[in-house]
Chains A and B, each alone.
Chain A
Amino acid sequence: MDQVILLGKAYPLLSAHPLPMVSALLSCGFPSPAGDYELELVDLNRLMLRHPDASFLARAHGQSMTGAGIHDGDVLAVDRSMQAQDGDIVVACVEGEYTVKRLSQRVDSVALVAENPAYKPIVVRNADDLRIFGVVVLVLHPLVTEGRRGLSYVRPQ
């Protein structure tokens, strides 16, 4: 017979920012029939990030990745737990500074490629010299202009 050993208790992942999601249509004008429904909690961290505790948010500065939909001022989520692969957009360390580029792995070299024709790729001859912080898994790009409605979704106040 197989032996069963209790190693410990499994704890659920606790979320820092639960948001309520109403599971029924809202109606206006009369008392909400949704009031009787249980609220389900949606956590953007869990919804959008596979590894919240290994992910870091960063603000992007510059124009070199506009072709990939990353604009100046956007917020990026960077996952450190994922092994970077060819074609991933990564945060890499170049000359003591972090930069966002697309990783292009060749047989004899590695390149960090911009997504804007105005920028040249950075070629790294020895792949061991390349330090990758993590893989960019998400871009938060505001669609509402700041100030117009007094809203600021991802920009600092």
Chain B
Amino acid sequence: MFGLVDCNNFYASCERVFRPELEGRPVVVLSNNDGCVVARSQEAKALGLKMGVPYFQVKEEYERLGGVACSSNYELYGDMSRRVMWYLQQRAPAVEIYSIDEAFLDLHGMQRHFDLAGWASDVRGAVRQRTGIPVCVGVAPTKTLAKLANRLAKLANQMANSANPGSGVVVLDDEEQRREALAQVAVEDVWGVGYRSAAKLHTAGIRTAAQLAGVGDAWARKNLGGVVGARMLHELRGLPCSSVTVEDEARKSLCCSRSFGQVLTRMEDVAGAVATHATRAGEKLRAQVMAARLMTVFIETSRYGNTPPPYSFSAQLTLPTATDDTLVLAGWARRGLERLWRPGMRYVKAGIVLDGLERAGANQQAALFADVACSPERTKLMGALDALNKRYGGGAVRVGAAVKTAGQQEPWGMKRGAKSPAFTTKWGELWQVRC
């Protein structure tokens, strides 16, 4: 059996743990630069706020109704997620952290020793008690069905009232329960059914998960992405096709990018943002003991303004040797930016993507020309850089291009007007209580 634990309205719930005044009120969390609604509490959903809606469109009415908006506080969400996942790892034999607020549990063999509904309910209560985060749990013979069970648990909880409180747990362990559950779920809500598949299925008259499970394998192979589609059907029928993967496989690429807090037109300002991303990318590489061989630098102009398309420009660079050196990365990023810079445009976003990642130090050929970036001194320098930034907070020591004169605001910095403090991760922003 598999379990899926999914945190309810995760970002909004995190905001509430340390701010009890938000309890019972509509809470939304906004995307970077306070642009769009990316998370909603139950009360905000009940007001009809849609996911992804630009906040300025709904702000006035929403705040009049007593709603609260929070800028995204990823430090807090990351730490709360770590606590939830850590606890799940204590309880389940194997845990696959699927996203910041979701984890698959491998419950293989456990049904012989535990009543799984009781066990899941106990885990749910403990996560709530220990972290303050409400979760729902779905348990079923396959991952796809566990996802579906979780969805049903969420729906039941949303409909809950004092007469009929939702348990937050749905277990599908016999054939009849499975069939009943499938009949309740729309086909577009099945894990793995995308927009395009959903449209195809609707055209073919397939509306529910139950109907989907009854489709022939050949039809699925032809219309739902080959083997992937066939596997999804098997999983819906209760035959597991994928297991819980505990190890996070070494990643093949990484990306650092962010929208600016304001439109930028000067190359030096954008270069500062790019240098910041290169610095961050170097840190991430070193933390994973990886080195990169390919770099893509990209900048975007506003998609909505009156600038003509294309709105995105990118430059690919092949580095002479795989590197994890911040200064080398920043240098190449700068060259990439110079290559794709078009003056007179209004830029809103920049980023860099690193590909061709390999283990740092692996297959490094002896360089024909002495390469300063591979020297032991440089490795030590990078170690010292990471140690300083860890000790004094990210960005304490940076490359020159990413530094603004003291007192000046970074023009590429984010707008986060309503960010709650990093209650659990920053000494200076520690959670405050009265006594």
A51 to B86 alpha-carbon distance, docked (Å): 11
Mask, A59-86, CB within 8 Å of B = 1, is 1111111000010000110001100000
- The answer to whether the Cβ of B129 comes within 8 Å of any Cβ in the partner chain is yes
- The answer to whether the Cβ of B428 comes within 8 Å of any Cβ in the partner chain is yes
Q: Which of B109, B428, B434 contacts A98 (CB 8 A)?
A: B434
Q: Which of B126, B130, B427, B435 contacts A61 (CB 8 A)?
A: B435
Q: For chain B, which range describes its interface: under 10, 10 to 19, 20 to 34, or 35 or more residues?
A: 20 to 34
A7 to B129 alpha-carbon distance, docked (Å): 25
A101: nearest residue on chain B (CB-CB)? Answer: B435
Cβ of A131 and Cβ of B130 under 8 Å apart?
no
Mask, A4-46, CB within 8 Å of B = 1, is 0101100100000000000000000000000000000000000
Cβ of B430 and Cβ of A75 under 8 Å apart?
yes
Q: Which of A56, A57, A62 contacts B435 (CB 8 A)?
A: A62
Which of A89-97, A103-111, A143-151 has 4 or more CB atoms under 8 Å from chain B? A89-97
- The answer to whether the Cβ of B242 comes within 8 Å of any Cβ in the partner chain is no
Cβ of B433 and Cβ of A76 under 8 Å apart?
yes
A80: nearest residue on chain B (CB-CB)? Answer: B130
- The answer to whether the Cβ of B424 comes within 8 Å of any Cβ in the partner chain is yes
List residues of B (293-347) whose CB comes within 8 Å of A's CBs: none
Cβ of A100 and Cβ of B20 under 8 Å apart?
no
Q: Which of A54, A57, A65, A100 contacts B130 (CB 8 A)?
A: A54
- The answer to whether the Cβ of A129 comes within 8 Å of any Cβ in the partner chain is no
Interface centre among A53, A58, A63, A93 (most CB of B within 10 A): A53
Interface centre among B87, B132, B430 (most CB of A within 10 A): B430
A94 to B130 alpha-carbon distance, docked (Å): 20
Q: Which of A53, A91, A114 contacts B87 (CB 8 A)?
A: A53
A65 to B435 alpha-carbon distance, docked (Å): 6
- The answer to whether the Cβ of B46 comes within 8 Å of any Cβ in the partner chain is no
Cβ of B433 and Cβ of A99 under 8 Å apart?
yes
Cβ of A97 and Cβ of B93 under 8 Å apart?
no
Cβ of B23 and Cβ of A96 under 8 Å apart?
yes
A11 to B85 alpha-carbon distance, docked (Å): 13
Cβ of A81 and Cβ of B428 under 8 Å apart?
no
**Nearest CB on A from B317, distance (A):** 36
Cβ of B432 and Cβ of A58 under 8 Å apart?
yes
A61 to B92 alpha-carbon distance, docked (Å): 39
Cβ of A11 and Cβ of B431 under 8 Å apart?
no
- The answer to whether the Cβ of B94 comes within 8 Å of any Cβ in the partner chain is yes
A54 to B92 alpha-carbon distance, docked (Å): 17
Given contacts A8-B94, A97-B21, A156-B427, contact A81 B129 (CB under 8 A): yes
Interface centre among A8, A64, A65, A114 (most CB of B within 10 A): A8
- 30 A-B residue pairs with Cβ-Cβ distance under 8 Å, sorted by A, are A5-B112, A7-B109, A7-B110, A53-B87, A53-B130, A54-B130, A54-B131, A56-B424, A56-B431, A57-B424, A57-B431, A58-B430, A59-B430, A61-B435, A62-B434, A63-B435, A80-B129, A80-B131, A80-B132, A96-B20, A96-B21, A96-B23, A97-B20, A97-B434, A98-B20, A100-B433, A100-B434, A156-B427, A157-B427, A157-B428
The 8 closest A-B pairs by CB, nearest first: A8-B93, A100-B435, A54-B130, A96-B21, A7-B93, A156-B428, A65-B435, A62-B435
Binding site for A on B (CB under 8 A): 18, 20-21, 23, 82-83, 86-87, 89, 92-94, 106, 109-110, 112-113, 126, 129-132, 423-424, 427-428, 430-435
